[in-house]
Amino acid sequence: MSELTELTIAEAARLLRLHSISVAELVTAHVERIAKVDPLVKAFLRATPEMYEKQAEAADEKLRRREGGPLTGIPLAVKDVLCVKGIETTAGSKILRGFKPPYTGTAVQRLFDAGAVMLGVTNCDEFAMGSSTENSGYYPTHNPWDLDRVPGGSSGGSAAAVAAGEAMIAVGTDTGGSIRQPAAVCGVVGMKPTYGRVSRYGLIAFASSLDQIGPFARSVEDASLVLDAMSGHDPLDATSSDRPNDVRKDFDKGVKGMRLGMPREYFDVEGMEPGVNKAVREAIKALENAGAEIVDVTLPHTDYGLAAYYIIAPAECSSNLARFDGVKYGMSVQDVDNITEMYMRTRRQGFGEEVRRRIMLGTYALSSGYYDAYYLKAQKVRTLIKRDFDDAFSKCDAIVSATSPAVAFPIGSKTDDPLSMYLCDVLTLGGNLAGLPGISVPCGTSQGLPVGLQVLAPQWREDVALRVARAYEVASGVMAEVASVA
């Protein structure tokens, strides 16, 4: 394994500025690493030499002129739900096979503008619906720490790529935990920002009121740098905020004097593995030793979160996915007698089982006569869950818990049981329903597999989440490692 694929951004940036290495060398090291391990990991769907060759050259040129910032020349992997002009982008779905967007989304463009170099497109659950990347329309991705296990999902490709040293950083999307949960089970850092912090323009929507784009990295600092570059108001996204971008303020101030809340419901969820529980409690102890005050808080509506989420997200998805109709782009079944048949056959062949299930669930929940009982009630529950967090944050600065109640599970073990798959997100989806920022940092292992500590902060307090996560890194001395991949 080349050392170049184990660097953090700060380390790489130092070497690049000293001209000890060039961007071309850094990128080549990653491309070679991908060639070596990706046949096993399958984190990527497509390599993008047409992007990285030019971007690497431009980045080297900038560095020669002593220009550029921390992300100049940093190898990046992009989840297959983020549109990049001219690069096939399919949301992990066969229905979009061959689709090349005519534009680049805002968040990715900002990373390009900051000098990041796009290595390729990473695998994910189809339309970001899933927690294992097994719902990809192409192939499953394997967990670099144990190739028989899933990398989590839906951004499993991005998490696995960073964990396996195939990319230094990656971007993913998080609708119910799709960044934090794969980050946890792949042993990397993953962050979902406050809803509205990062523009969603160019993100192929799953559930518009829940989706956020966020970073993967192998250190909290790296994650903060990527987030910082993507953040800020975008006139093309009416839900993006024009608040000042202050995500990195107080980054290294530690947790002394901070109050960290442990929601009792989050330590008592269905499927919580003893090893995960132990690792997380030890991590919290380390934060206490570093000067934080640990307080008990309660999130009484936690039990209803999953149900509310699985009404709201499918309802929005049923509408968001209506545009995939075979008329304008992607798959189109042509040997049909009429338009209705074209719609039905294109969508039946193009969408996988889980996507079809959620479209049907959501269509049902929005139907006349059921809207009040399902969608409206779920929105009321969402309000109660937000209120739970407001109350909890009146007693603490941040909330700490496990990210996922379990470590990575074996491939194929949950595919026949969607409900048990849905339970993977039970600790993360509350943050989406309430629009909160949340980060997952590696905190040891259980059964030899990575465990993640989740830090949730009040809206717009990414700085708090990052500061606590960074303090844990410092206190524990635990940093994400690159999996060797046998």
Partner 1 sequence: MPDSQWEVVIGMEVHVQPRTRTKMFCGCAIGQLGDPPNSNVCEVCMGMPGVLPVINKAAVEACLKTALALNCEIPRHTKFDRKNYMYPDLPKGYQISQYDLPMSVNGHLELGDRQVRIRRVHLEEDTGKLIHAGDKLHKAWESYVDLNRAGVPLMEIVSEPDLRSADEARDYAQALRTLLRTIGASEAEMEKGQLRAEPNISIRRYGSDDLGVKTELKNINSFRALHRAIEFEVNRQVEVVESGGTVGQETRGWSEAEQRTFSQRSKEFAEDYRYFPEPDLPPLELDRPWIEALRRALPELPAARRARLVSQYALPASDATQIAAERELADLFEAAAKASGDSKQTANWIIGEVAPRGKLPTPAHLAELVTLVATGKITRDQGREVLGTSMENGHSPAQIVAERGFAQISDESELRVIVEGVIAGNPRAVEDYRAGKKQAMQALMADVLTRAPQTKPNIASALLLELLK
* Measured distance CA(108)–CA(240) in Å, rounded: 15
Q: Which of 10, 339, 360, 373 binds partner 1 (CB under 8 A)?
A: 339
**How many residues sit in the footprint of partner 1 (CB under 8 A)?**
47
Write the CB contacts of 388 (distance below 8 Å, at least 6 apart in sequence).
298, 299, 300, 301, 302, 430, 434
Write down how long the chain is. Answer: 486
Confirm whether 328 is a catalytic residue. Answer: no
Task: Pick from 15, 41, 116, 203 the residue near partner 1 by CB under 8 A.
Answer: 203
Q: Is 202 in the site for partner 1 (CB under 8 A)?
A: yes
**Does residue 336 touch partner 1 according to CB under 8 A?**
no
Residue 82 contacts partner 1 per CB under 8 A: yes
Cα-trace Rg, the chain: 21
224 carries an active-site annotation: no
Q: For residues 203 and 225, give the distance between their C-alpha atoms in angstroms, rounded to a whole number.
A: 20
Q: Which is nearer to partner 1, 198 or 398 (CB)?
A: 198
- For 210-301, where are the alpha helices, taking DSSP H only? 220-230, 274-289
Separation between Cα atoms, residue 346 and residue 323, nearest integer Å: 12
Q: C-beta of 74: minimal distance to partner 1 in Å?
A: 24
Q: How far is the CB of 330 from partner 1 (least distance, A)?
A: 8
Write down the H helix ranges in 351-403: 353-366, 377-393
Contact 453, 283 (CB under 8 A): yes
Least distance (Å) from partner 1 to the CB of residue 346? 11
Give the list of residues 6+ apart from residue 398 with CB closer than 8 angstroms, or none: 258, 260, 261, 455, 456, 457, 461, 464, 465, 468
- Fill in the per-residue mask, 367 to 396: x = in contact with partner 1 (CB under 8 A), - = not in contact: xx--x---x---------------------
Q: List Cα–Cα distances, 205 to 11, 65, 357, in angstroms.
A: 35, 39, 17
Q: Which stretch binds partner 1 (CB under 8 A): 98-106, 242-250, 417-425, 453-461?
A: 98-106
Q: In whole angstroms, how close is the CB of 26 to partner 1 at the nearest point? A: 29
User: Which residue among the candidates 22, 93, 132, 178 is catalytic per the annotation?
Assistant: 178
- Closest distance to partner 1 from the beta carbon of 325 (Å): 6
CB 116 within 8 A of CB 52: no
Can the peptide bond before residue 20 be classed as cis, meaning omega within 30 degrees of 0? Answer: no
Q: Residue from 49, 98, 235, 412 that binds partner 1 (CB under 8 A)?
A: 235
- Verify whether residue 154 is a known catalytic residue: yes
Mark residues 273-312: x for contact with partner 1 by CB under 8 A, - for none: ----------------------------------------
Q: Return residues touching partner 1 (CB under 8 A).
A: 81-83, 89, 91, 96, 99, 101-103, 105, 200-205, 207-209, 235-239, 315-316, 318-319, 321-325, 327-329, 338-340, 343, 363, 366-368, 371, 375
Q: Which residues are the active-site residues?
A: 79, 154, 178
